[in-house]
Amino acid sequence: IQLLLFVCAIITVLERIYEESPCVGNITVYSSYINNGLVCNSLYDLSSITENTTDSEMCSIVKGNRNCDSAFIRNACGDLYGWLIERFWLAAAEVFFPQCVSDLESDQISLPPNQTS
């Protein structure tokens, strides 16, 4: 039952994104997003993380990249898209950077933002 509720919640968020966001299907925003991603990656280079990188340094790079990425999305597409991107970053951190999860969670909103009118 919990899995079903989770799937229903995800579907609801995706439906809202489709209805509320000016970015859905907008190739100009998509191209800008790709370019912004390159800028974020150059500022906060994930490939610079090695086995000698401290957890603090690693989490700073991951969080900086997440913040850069989500700020662009939030400005271009709205709070709901920004919230979703931050959730994707959290999911990626759970797999690749588990030591950074609590740091990323510390400033995230657990529920999606209210629906725009």
**Angstrom distance (rounded) from CA 117 to CA 105:** 28
**Angstrom distance (rounded) from CA 13 to CA 101:** 22
**Angstrom distance (rounded) from CA 49 to CA 46:** 6
* Structural domains of the chain, count: 1
What is Dmax (Cα atoms) for the chain? 49
Domain that holds residue 99: 2-105
Assess if residue 8 is contained within a domain. Answer: yes
User: How do the pLDDT tens digits run along the chain, 117 residues long?
Assistant: 666 776 677 677 777 776 767 777 778 877 887 788 788 888 888 889 999 999 999 999 999 999 998 888 888 888 888 888 898 899 999 999 999 999 999 988 777 777 654
pLDDT at 61: 94
Residue 43's identity, in one-letter code, is L
Assess if residue 85 is contained within a domain. Answer: yes
pLDDT at 62: 94
Assess if residue 115 is contained within a domain. Answer: no
**Angstrom distance (rounded) from CA 72 to CA 75:** 5
**What DSSP designation does 98 have?**
G
Start-end of H helices in 1-117: 2-20, 27-43, 55-77, 79-96, 101-105
Assess if residue 113 is contained within a domain. Answer: no
pLDDT in tens, 66-92: 999 888 888 888 888 888 889 889 999
Q: Specify the pTM.
A: 0.75
